[in-house]
Each structure stands twice: as structure tokens, then as C-alpha cells.
Amino acid sequence: MTDPFPPEVVEQIARHMNDDHADDNVLIVRALGGVPMASAARMSGLDADAMEFRAVVDGIEVPVRVPFSERLTERRQVRAEAVRMYHEACRALGVEPRH
């Protein structure tokens, strides 16, 4: 199966996540990426199976891969999956999600 997300699409999604959802990225990395001490996180990529981040822990950047709940085949699925990840992270961390 070919990757449904060419580099320009990944770049657009990453720009949106990093510009508009920087705090959400941190929550996702802390709760779902196994990096509870992350102080910052930038989305660095994605493929059909996961979203990738560069998280900062104690001043050191580390790669974090957070799997999707299922293999994605279309760009429109990314938004729903990012929202699901955000809400799951909020629940796990006891944070009230914004509406």
C-alpha cells in the first residue's frame, strides 16, 4: 500500500498542528507518546499509521511516534484522528478539553 500523504500534505498538516495546536501536541506526546515530562512538542511528520513529533525533555529533543487507532487512507481522516488523540490525552491527564 502506498503512503496516502505526500510530503506537501504532511507539511500542511504539520504547519497547522504546530501553529494552531502547539499545546495539544504536548498533551498528546505526554499522554499517548510515553513522554510525560515533555515541555514542548512539534509535529514532525505522519504516515498512514502514526503521527510523529519532536518533543523536548530536559532541553533535549527526542522523537516520539504516536500510533493512530487505525490505518488512515485519506487526508480527511487525519483531523478526526487528531481530535480523538487530543480528547484521549485530556482524559488520560485529567485535563478539561476545550470545546
Task: Give residue 65's domain range.
Answer: 7-91
Q: Is residue 99 part of a domain?
A: no
Please give the pLDDT value at position 2: 64
Please give the pLDDT value at position 4: 82
Query: Which of left, alpha, beta for 58 (phi over 0: left; psi -120 to 50: alpha)?
Result: left
Q: Is residue 51 part of a domain?
A: yes
User: What one-character DSSP code corresponds to residue 37?
Assistant: T
Which residue in this structure is represented by grid cell 511516534?
65
What is the CATH classification number for the domain harbouring 80?
3.20.180.10
Q: Is residue 44 part of a domain?
A: yes
Residue 10 is inside which H or E element, if any?
helix 7-20
60 and 41 Cβ atoms separated by less than 8 Å: no
Domain count of the chain?
Answer: 1
Mean pLDDT per 10-residue interval, the chain, length 99 residues: 83 97 97 97 96 97 97 94 97 93
Which residue in this structure is represented by grid cell 488520560?
92
